[in-house]
């Protein structure tokens, strides 16, 4: 073959290859669904009691991540972290009282990135945390093409709308209602579903790609839900947490005194002692019943939304993401709500559906997402979708969704990224979709939580920035959870990890519930010294690697300071 023919042939091959690459990166729409305070209490995560058939159906056609962790177990900081793909130490948001663009850096958000690529971006319900944390605008117009929608009935959420045993209306924790008797005759998540359906219909024929984020309010408290969902969970079928007592080895700084629960009128009537309680067992069972019923109510709304996506012919061209902002304790360790570094507070569901990648026709149903009736007599059974057991973080959602939708992911952030508008502190998980699921002992998730003092007090769950004196930095690997509660300066945003106020070490193979703390404060320096020696146990080898990684400043800005 002559040289000129060779050149012509090479050019032809490159052109064909380039065309093939472009064809494979056709942009997809995105339906981004986020629940509020949802731990992995779902059938697809192995919960034997919960009824969540619509989310389970989505999971059967998705890649499901079984060990995803939030970066801070409270709404505002977690949502800002997820949507900017930056850690709380980079957004500098640990409470609800600052806007990252002013307080830390002008960081590009997930929807803003899609908007910059020509997508119509829309927000329904609770996506950003409302108020100061999103500039009283849900970050509009930066992140959204149209003003975000908030359901009108939400203004009644914390009012006295719960009928008590005395026949009067109260602001209760437990608040099952007859929807027809509620203000406006509806509930927030019902309104959000209707608005999301309207937007799907209106954008179908627009010719533009869309990014639609739908934030459901449940199972966040109060448990104001349609009363019929309680019938799915008879009280005699509910059980207490397997570890309902405060662990003896738990440092007092780590304890969450669940003050938001205590403020509800029905809980106040129980006259529970502060800070450790406990809540009477019969009321504990009712809380669990209402939480599960709230999950099922939210599942029904997800089912309506997915069925509409399918009915409109959009399921084949849309990436569907389902996740939550953080978990919620149901009595484990004597704790309730979020506000801690335990798995029950930081672990969340995460799944991605992509037609042709995570789900390939044919399947028995004519529809991709037929609506699953939770009150039907026939049990729902689904085949298992793809599963990923390795540890990952909510930070990873931004780059992963970008790739799945056909966009380039943001570049990794440098060590100091306060002046960088677009970058990610997470990782692209799309590469895991077609790989095997072997254990990655190097995978790690970092969470953190602030405290105002060494002992529980009224503002321990959500201290204002100016009151933070201690930061609990927590590492979660396949083998262990290791937490150090260290001194923190809110003026400089600096943690001093030589000023240790407490520590926790749980070896997960023998202690999956994290009830037996092996950390000993008197042996803290000895532990670090031992990690420098040879012949370590596998968990200790992994911990050593992670601490070296962190002190290099590449994973967590706070933990990069004066640790070893």
Judge whether 156 and 181 are in contact, CB under 8 Å: no
278 preceded by a cis bond (ω within 30 of 0): yes
What is the b/e burial string over 322-334, where b = at least 16 CB atoms within 10 angstroms of the residue's CB?
bbbbbbbbbbbbb
* Structure tokens belonging to residue 260: 């938001």
Per-residue tokens: 338: 């979020």
Lowest mean pLDDT among 160-169, 251-260, 374-383, 493-502: 374-383
pLDDT value at residue 562:
33
Residue matched to tokens 């570049």:
411
Distance CA 92, CA 74 (A): 14
What's the whole-number mean pLDDT along residues 3-27? 42
What share of the chain in percent tops pLDDT 70? 86
Answer whether residue 536 shows pLDDT above 80.
no
The whole-number average pLDDT for the span 541-547 is 64
pLDDT for 363: 58
**Would you put residue 505 in left (φ > 0), alpha (ψ -120 to 50) or beta?**
beta
Q: Which is nearest to 481 in space by CA: 506, 462, 499, 502? A: 506
Grade residue 132 by pLDDT with cuts at 50, 70 and 90.
very high
Which residue of the set 66, 129, 170, 220 is catalytic? Answer: 129
Residue with tokens 């979020």: 338
Distances (CA, A) of 534 to 228, 522, 531, 561: 60, 22, 8, 25
Helix (H) / strand (E) containing 33: strand 29-35
C-beta separation of 242 from 330 below 8 A: no
The whole-angstrom separation of Cα 147 and Cα 236 is 46
Q: How confident is the model at residue 555 (pLDDT cuts 50, 70, 90)?
A: very low
Domain boundaries, the chain: 29-433, 445-553
Q: How buried is residue 179: exposed, middle or buried, by Cβ count under 10 Å (0-12/13-18/19+)? A: middle
Q: For residue 426, is pLDDT > 80? A: yes
pLDDT of residue 365 exceeding 80: no
222 three-class SS = coil
pLDDT in tens, 57-71: 999 999 999 999 999
| Residue 396 pLDDT | 98
Tens of pLDDT, residue by residue over 367-410, are: 899 999 999 877 788 888 888 889 999 999 999 999 999 999 99
Residue among 557, 561, 563 nearest 448 (CA): 557
pLDDT tens digits for 285-341?
999 999 999 999 999 999 999 999 999 999 999 999 999 999 999 999 999 999 999
Give catalytic status of residue 150 as yes or no. Answer: no
Q: What is the pLDDT of residue 520?
A: 76
Judge whether residue 49 has pLDDT over 90. Answer: yes
pLDDT at 527: 58
Place of tokens 């709500």: 337
Helix, strand or coil, per DSSP, at residue 214: strand
pLDDT tens digits, one per residue of 429-469: 998 886 656 667 678 999 999 999 999 999 999 999 999 99
In three-state secondary structure terms, 216 is coil
Q: State the pLDDT at residue 376.
A: 86
What one-character-per-residue DSSP string does 437-492 give?
----TT--EEEEEEESSSS--TTSSS--GGG--EEEEEEE-SSEEEEEEEEEETTT
**pLDDT recorded at residue 207:** 83
474-497 mean pLDDT = 92
348, pLDDT greater than 80: yes
Q: From the candidates 10, 19, 44, 75, give the one annotated as an active-site residue.
A: 75
Query: What's the mean pLDDT in 491-505?
Result: 91
CB-based burial of residue 297 (10 Å sphere; 0-12 exposed, 13-18 middle, 19+ buried)? buried
252, pLDDT greater than 70 = yes
Tokens standing for residue 277: 């309680």
Q: Residue 156 has what pLDDT?
A: 96
Q: Where are the beta strands (DSSP E) in 131-178?
A: 162-163, 169-170, 174-177
Per the CB < 8 A criterion, the answer to whether 67 and 349 are in contact is no
DSSP bridge partners of 163: 169
Under 8 Å between Cβ of 200 and 308: yes
* Mean per-residue pLDDT, 149-177: 95
Asked if 337 contacts 225 with a C-beta cutoff of 8 angstroms, the reply is no
Task: Tell me phi and psi for residue 364, to 5 degrees.
Answer: -60, -35
Tokens read off for 371:
């609506």
Nearest to 57 by CA among 43, 76, 39, 70: 43
CB atoms within 10 A of CB 381: 9
Tokens linked to 441:
């002992």
- pLDDT at residue 442 in the model: 74
Clarify whether 15 is annotated catalytic. no
Residue 539: pLDDT band with limits 50, 70, 90? low
For the chain, count helices (H), then strands (E).
14, 18
DSSP 326: -
Mean pLDDT (the chain, rounded): 89
Q: What's the rounded mean pLDDT across residues 128-143? A: 97
**Beta strand spans in 252-398 (E):** 318-324, 329-330, 336-337, 347-353, 386-388, 392-393
Lowest-confidence pick of 3-7, 52-56, 75-79, 546-550: 3-7
Phi, psi of 392 (to 5 degrees): -150, 180
What is the reported pLDDT for 303? Answer: 98
CATH of the domain spanning 29-433, picked from 3.10.290.10, 3.90.920.10, 3.40.720.10, 3.30.470.10:
3.40.720.10
Per-residue model confidence (pLDDT) at position 15: 36
- Judged against a pLDDT cut of 80, whether residue 46 lies above it is answered with yes
pLDDT in the model for residue 1? 41
Say what the pLDDT of residue 522 is: 52
State residue 47's pLDDT score.
96
């Amino acid at each position: 073959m002559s040289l000129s023919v060779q050149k012509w042939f090479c050019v032809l091959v490159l052109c064909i290859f380039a065309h093939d690459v472009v064809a494979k990166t056709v942009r997809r729409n995105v339906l981004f669904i986020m629940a509020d305070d949802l731990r992995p209490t779902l059938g697809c995560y192995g919960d034997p009691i919960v009824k969540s058939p619509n989310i389970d159906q989505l999971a059967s056609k998705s890649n499901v991540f079984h060990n995803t962790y939030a970066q801070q177990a409270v709404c505002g900081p977690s949502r800002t972290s997820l949507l900017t793909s930056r850690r709380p130490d980079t957004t500098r948001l640990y409470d609800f009282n600052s806007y990252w663009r002013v307080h830390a850096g002008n960081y590009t958000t997930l929807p803003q990135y899609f908007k910059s690529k020509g997508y119509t971006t829309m927000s329904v319900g609770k996506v950003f945390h409302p108020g100061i944390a999103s500039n009283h605008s849900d970050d509009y117009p930066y992140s959204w093409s149209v003003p975000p929608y908030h359901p009108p009935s939400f203004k009644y959420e914390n009012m006295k709308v719960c009928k008590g045993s005395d026949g009067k209306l109260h602001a209760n924790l437990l608040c099952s209602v007859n929807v027809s008797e509620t203000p406006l005759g509806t509930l927030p998540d019902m309104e959000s579903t209707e608005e999301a359906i309207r937007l799907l219909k209106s954008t179908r024929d627009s010719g533009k790609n869309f990014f639609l984020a739908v934030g459901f309010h449940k199972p966040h408290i109060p448990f104001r839900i349609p009363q019929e969902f309680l019938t799915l969970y008879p009280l005699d079928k509910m059980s207490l947490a397997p570890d309902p007592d405060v662990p003896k080895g738990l440092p007092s700084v780590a304890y969450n005194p669940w003050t938001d629960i205590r403020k509800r009128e029905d809980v106040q009537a129980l006259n529970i002692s502060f800070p450790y309680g406990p809540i009477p067992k019969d009321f504990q069972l009712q809380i669990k019943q209402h939480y599960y019923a709230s999950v099922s109510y939210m599942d029904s709304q997800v089912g309506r939304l997915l069925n509409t996506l399918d009915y409109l012919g959009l399921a084949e061209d849309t990436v569907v993401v389902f996740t939550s902002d953080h978990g919620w304790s149901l009595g484990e360790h004597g704790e309730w709500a979020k506000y801690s570094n335990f798995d029950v507070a930081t672990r969340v569901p995460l799944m991605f559906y992509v037609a042709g990648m995570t789900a390939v026709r044919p399947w028995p149903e004519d529809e991709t997402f037929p609506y699953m009736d939770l009150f039907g007599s026939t049990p729902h059974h689904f085949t298992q979708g793809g599963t990923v057991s390795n540890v990952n973080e909510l930070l990873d959602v931004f780059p992963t969704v970008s790739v799945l939708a056909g966009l380039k992911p943001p570049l990794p952030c440098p060590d100091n990224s306060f002046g960088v508008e677009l970058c990610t502190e997470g990782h692209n998980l799309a590469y895991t979709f077609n790989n095997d699921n072997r254990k990655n002992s190097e995978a790690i998730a970092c969470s953190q939580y602030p405290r105002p003092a060494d002992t529980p007090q009224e503002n321990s769950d959500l201290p204002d920035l100016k009151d933070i004196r201690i930061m609990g930095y927590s590492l979660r690997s396949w083998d262990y959870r290791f937490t150090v509660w260290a001194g923190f300066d809110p003026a400089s945003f600096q943690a001093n990890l030589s000023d240790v106020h407490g520590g926790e070490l749980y070896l997960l193979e023998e202690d999956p519930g994290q009830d037996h703390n092996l950390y000993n404060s008197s042996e803290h320096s000895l532990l670090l010294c031992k990690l420098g020696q040879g012949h370590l146990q596998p968990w200790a080898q992994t911990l050593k690697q992670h601490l070296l990684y962190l002190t290099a400043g590449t994973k967590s800005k706070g933990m990069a300071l004066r640790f070893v």
